[in-house]
């Protein structure tokens, strides 16, 4: 039986889930996807209903951090039967691969999904060699 290989993103997810309950208080964090293609690494975060101005993205010491806050709706007193949409502040951090170009990070927000692109450094991309 072979064991699956853990990526830095898997370790980050494990630590995030382990730290969500601190001192008996449960916080929330958006569900995320992380993947790569030939040109970039990608992180997607599900943050429906949030305003892009309530989301902060930073890169420091090879770590990408996404922070935000979903504010409570200003509404009359309600009795919830089910409340699964997290509210309040959240933080998600991802250790970046050494091949990511941290100077060219870009982000978009559409239909409740934040997408962060981290291009790969040119010297690390696969190249096709022409035979002379």
pLDDT at 23 over 50: no
**CA–CA separation, 34 and 97 (whole Å):** 12
Tens digit of each residue's pLDDT (9 = 90 or more) over 25-81: 447 899 999 999 989 999 999 999 899 999 999 999 999 999 999 887 766 788 888
The answer to whether 114 and 44 are in contact (CB under 8 A) is: yes
CATH code for the domain defined by 8-18+28-73+83-121: 2.60.40.790
Give the C-alpha separation, 74 to 85, whole Å.
15
The alpha carbon dihedral of 90, 114, 58, 31 has a sign of: positive
pTM of the predicted structure, to 2 decimals: 0.72
Residue 90 pLDDT grade (very low, low, confident, very high; cuts 50, 70, 90): very high
Cα(98)–Cα(3) distance, integer angstroms: 24
Q: How high is the pLDDT of residue 12?
A: 59
Q: What is the pLDDT of residues 107-132, one digit of tens each?
A: 999 999 999 999 999 877 677 888 98
Q: Which pLDDT score is estimated for 24?
A: 43
Selection from 97, 130, 109 nearest residue 57 by Cα: 109
- For residue 63, list its beta bridge partners: 60, 95
Helix, strand, or coil here: 3? coil
């Amino acid at each position: 039986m072979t064991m699956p290989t853990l990526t830095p993103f898997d370790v980050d997810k494990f630590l995030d889930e382990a730290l969500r309950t601190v001192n008996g208080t449960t916080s929330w964090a958006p569900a995320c996807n992380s993947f790569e293609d030939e040109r970039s690494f990608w992180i997607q975060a599900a943050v429906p209903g949030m305003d892009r101005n309530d989301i902060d993205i930073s890169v420091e010491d090879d770590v990408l951090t996404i922070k935000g806050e979903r504010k409570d709706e200003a509404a009359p007193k309600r009795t919830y039967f089910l409340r699964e949409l997290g509210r309040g502040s959240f933080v998600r951090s991802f250790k970046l691969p050494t091949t990511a170009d941290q100077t060219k990070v870009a982000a978009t927000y559409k239909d409740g999904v934040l997408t962060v692109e981290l291009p790969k450094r040119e010297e690390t991309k696969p190249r096709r060699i022409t035979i002379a």
